[in-house]
Structure 1
Amino acid sequence: MLAMDQHNHQEESCVPPGFRFHPTEEELVGYYLARKVAAQKIDLDIIQEVDLYRIEPWDLQGTTH
């Protein structure tokens, strides 16, 4: 019965990787960056693109939508 409840809970959740725990770098790269490189849609606009040649490193934290 417990396995069935866990399976149903997994089907209900459509939250991308990294939102319910602290993701590893491998999980972030494997999901978000791989989708970006493959020109696949990422449902949430959470990773902002920054032109690193036009911004100083100490100003990165202030660059939000």
Structure 2
Amino acid sequence: MSWSIEIDANTCIGSGMCAGVAPDHFDLVDGYSTALKDQVEPADEVVDAAESCPVEAILVKEVGTGKVIAPEE
């Protein structure tokens, strides 16, 4: 199983929380978040990054099923 990471560029405010929480998965480019890979192995820090985003611009889903992993509703 793997997860997809989607970042809504129109919502992202470039707080950098994701890059601070999960630097192996996120970086800031031109002041906005970017995922280093579109698909990743399940990792707690990816969920933590999505949950820490102040504007919920990060969506983590299970590849194949589309089940939303984070943020929790």
Fold equivalence (TM over 0.5): no
More helix by share: 1
Higher relative contact order (CA 8 A, sep 6+): 2
Please tell me whether Structure 1 or Structure 2 has the larger radius of gyration of its CA atoms: 1
More strand by share: 2
